[in-house]
Chains A and B, each alone.
Chain A
Amino acid sequence: MKKYDSVVIGGGVLGAFVLRSLRRYDISCILLEASGDIAGGITRANTAIVYTASDNRPGSLKAEMAKRANENFHELCNDLGVRFSRCGSLMVSFGEKGDEVLRKKLIQGEENGVRGMKIISGSEAKMLQPLLSENVTTALYSPMTGTVNPWELTIAAFENAVQNGAQAKMNAKVIDIIPTDEGYEVKTENDVFFAKTVFNCAGLEADKIHSLVSNDGIRLSIDGADFIVFDKYAPKPDMIIFHETENGKGITAVPTVEGNLIVDSPPREADNSFDTTSEGLDYIIENLNKVLPELDTKRIIRSFGALRPNPHKPDGRSIHSFCIENPSPGFYSLIGIKTPGLTCADEIGKYLAGFAVEYLSAKINEDFDPVRKTGDHIGGEIICLCENITKGEIISAIKRGAKDIHGIKRRTGALMGKCQGSRCSIKIKKILEEYNETL
């Protein structure tokens, strides 16, 4: 049986950052991912927003972490070699109820120490973002809001963790966890891993993993959202637009680091699948017409669905804070870490590593290097014509762990252009096949 100080379950953004944070200390650790690749679960579909703390209750862990994370985000992305755009945001409203929500957010944000926020009029908002509707009544400007690509961030954190000595195993679905006197036996179909501490970052499965060691009855309910994507060349707002309707959250439009615009629907019911719904997609188009009426819908290239796990107490009550549980000594569960989970991933990682350090009496890892080393790109024929990705870059992505075209997409940006892979996906599949045959 392989022995570790820590096992991290789940290769999403949280698992990757917990793993990396553990390696800041002299803690031997392995990440177990059920599927063949990291960043393929709920991490892959996300609004990609780096929030300020204006949405969080003053004094809460979320507010504290979000503020610190937001301020440090540039440095984090710099270390990891990940694109980050502090594009700022405008929350726009269309009537008195919405205006009131904005004023409350301003007060809350200021109380949380968010810098630079101010309320502006609808016409001032239109001057800032000419594509906005004339019917905006009030806007909340927030210069600290930003955007990052969630899977790029996850892969970078994971690679940096591995460069710092962390281990990882793919296709390692955890099927049982047996507590012992010294720790836990974590069983997968083919292996057993012994660990003194376990970090459950299993996303949609986090409640099931948690229930292997706990009877507290915390469970997840899953809701979803729909997204549409505009191509890079569409005229678009250059700030994030949050749409506050008279009855709550509307759409959110995010100009991504790649140069696209993604627009999401409010949360809706979901049946645990990433399917999109006609209702959600129709809602987005209808509301884009109200908020950003001049956007050219001919430039839509994609839609996708997202899932969000929400934690509940056994009696059904929602848990609003970050649900970080410690059901037995050395076992930590992250259950339904939703917004601002992406923003706070590094903070949450450090927070959990802090528990491990105390529990294991671990020392600082003097050799830890927070800077991710990225390989040199290699050339060759240009395979992805939209993004000019070469065969060499694709092969390097396979060597870095990509198992299929989705993994290639997340590591190179191929398939993300205007043709959405119609000109290169067959070629990329061939390259994958050829590479695997040489193994």
Chain B
Amino acid sequence: MKHYDVLVIGGGIAGISAAKALDGLKVLLVEKSDRLGGILNQCLHRGFGKDMTGPEYISGILSDFPENINVALKTAVTDITPQKTATLRHENSTEEISFSELILATGCMERPTGHMLIAGSRPEGVYTAGQVQEMINIHGIIPPSPAVILGSGDIGLIVAKHLFENNVEVTIVEIKDQLGGLARNRMWLEGYDVKIMINTTVKKILGEESINGVVLTDGTHIPAKTLIAATGLIPDREILKYKNYPFEIHICGNCKEVFPMVEGVARDAERAANAAIENIRRNNDR
């Protein structure tokens, strides 16, 4: 069984930043997709570092990525045992490895649309904000107009801007009495023709094959060919299931808590890396 000083799970900004801070140790960085960078790969808005897009930010951070860090792409960690071993799955084969320290950098996911228990049909044209971002930025597909965006956090606002700039008529529906999100993401709305409805939410989805409208709690009917749920991010730590591990797991980045800025993720990952280094040093001294 191969042994690593540190196993880092997740190849987004948190995992990359942690791995870089571990230079000199025997590190394995595991990523499920075929490239590093995580969700930033689909973020083309200039919201990272010094006015950079997600991919620009990633290439910056990867430009001095140490060569001696082992990176396993297209690989999933399917189990972590209390004995500090992990099962990796790659293609059709599985491999057991052991580790001294574990850094979890698995990011977050969007709360699924289904969580909201909206009544009605389940037609085509209902997406989460992240899906729309992927459609526009990666595949160049603009969802049909008009669109209703449910939720006004940062992601909802960013997607609203994307859509508006692509000539999609946008209505934002927010259950609270004011818009959410960072001020810089809210600012552009002034002077833009985006309809905003507060203190209400979507109660029912209409349409058979494809969506043709939504009904709000007060009964208002809004025509819509696209419904986008932007109702929040939840940390993804499901790999730990509800097991109790007899060792410290360094949880960092968005799988610990959802950070508003990428720099916060990177700093938190470096903190986790330093904690792992400290544990290794202490065990060596013993």
Contact = CB atoms under 8 A, between A and B. Distances in A.
B134 interface: yes
B203 A382 contact: no
Contacts, number: 100
Interface stretch (A151-159, A240-248, A297-305): A297-305
Interface in A361-395: 376-382, 385-386, 388, 390, 392
A381 B74 contact: yes
Contact of A277 (B75, B91, B119): B119
A184 to B, nearest CB: 32
A301 B112 contact: yes
Contacts of A380: 74, 91
B162 to A, nearest CB: 15
A321 interface: no
A425 B141 CA distance: 14
Contacts of B117: 228, 276, 281, 285, 300, 303
B114 interface: yes
A232 B119 CA distance: 23
A235 B203 CA distance: 28
Given A376-B92, A388-B78, A419-B109, A303 B114 contact: yes
Given A235-B242, A275-B119, A379 B74 contact: yes
A358 B112 CA distance: 52
Nearest to A233: B238
A273 interface: yes
A175 interface: no
A422 B110 contact: yes
Given A377-B92, A382-B74, A388-B78, A425 B115 contact: no
Contacts of B109: 385, 418-419, 422-423
B186 interface: no
Contacts of B33: 381-382
B90 A422 contact: no
B114 A302 contact: yes
A229 interface: yes
Nearest to B107: A385
Interface in B226-242: 236, 238, 241-242
Contact of B32 (A285, A302, A385, A425): A385
Interface string A397-431: 00000000000000000000011111101100010
B contact face: mostly helix, strand, loop, or mixed? mixed
B112 A276 contact: no
B90 A420 contact: no
Contacts of B83: none
B26 interface: no
Contacts of B92: 376-379
A278 interface: yes
Interface in B92-150: 92, 109-110, 112-115, 117-122, 127-128, 130-131, 134-135, 138-139
A379 B90 contact: yes
A275 B121 CA distance: 4
B62 interface: no
A421 B115 CA distance: 13
A contact face: mostly helix, strand, loop, or mixed? loop
Interface in B194-213: 203-204, 208
Contact of B120 (A231, A276, A285, A379): A276
Contacts of B139: 426, 430
A420 B113 contact: yes
Nearest to A405: B124
A303 B121 CA distance: 10
A382 to B, nearest CB: 4
Contact of A233 (B114, B130, B135, B242): B242
Nearest to B92: A379
Contact of B238 (A386, A421, A425): A386
A390 B91 CA distance: 8
Interface in B26-84: 32-34, 74-76, 78
B250 interface: no
B130 A273 contact: no
Given A235-B242, A382-B74, A301 B115 contact: yes
Given A274-B121, A422-B130, A379 B115 contact: no
Contacts of A229: 114
A408 B117 CA distance: 24
A303 B112 CA distance: 11
Nearest to A425: B131
Contacts of B119: 275-278, 281, 303
Given A229-B114, A423-B130, A418 B238 contact: yes
Nearest to B35: A381
Contact of B135 (A277, A385, A390, A426): A426
Nearest to B114: A302
A278 B202 CA distance: 11
A231 B241 CA distance: 11
A418 B112 contact: yes
B271 interface: no
A386 B237 CA distance: 11
A273 B121 contact: yes
A308 B185 CA distance: 47
Contacts of A273: 121, 208
B89 interface: yes
Q: Which of B112, B127, B238 has the most CB of A within 10 A?
A: B112
Nearest to A229: B114
Per CB-CB distance, the 7 closest pairs between chain A and chain B, nearest first, are A379-B91, A302-B114, A420-B112, A382-B32, A422-B128, A278-B119, A388-B76
18 contacts: A232-B238, A275-B121, A276-B118, A276-B119, A278-B204, A301-B112, A302-B114, A379-B91, A381-B34, A390-B74, A418-B109, A418-B238, A419-B109, A420-B114, A421-B112, A423-B110, A426-B134, A426-B139
Interface of A: 228-229, 231-233, 235, 273-278, 281, 285, 298, 300-304, 376-382, 385-386, 388, 390, 392, 418-423, 425-426, 430
Interface of B: 32-34, 74-76, 78, 89-92, 109-110, 112-115, 117-122, 127-128, 130-131, 134-135, 138-139, 203-204, 208, 236, 238, 241-242
Given A302-B112, A380-B74, A392-B91, 7 more contacts: A274-B122, A376-B92, A379-B91, A418-B109, A422-B112, A423-B110, A425-B131
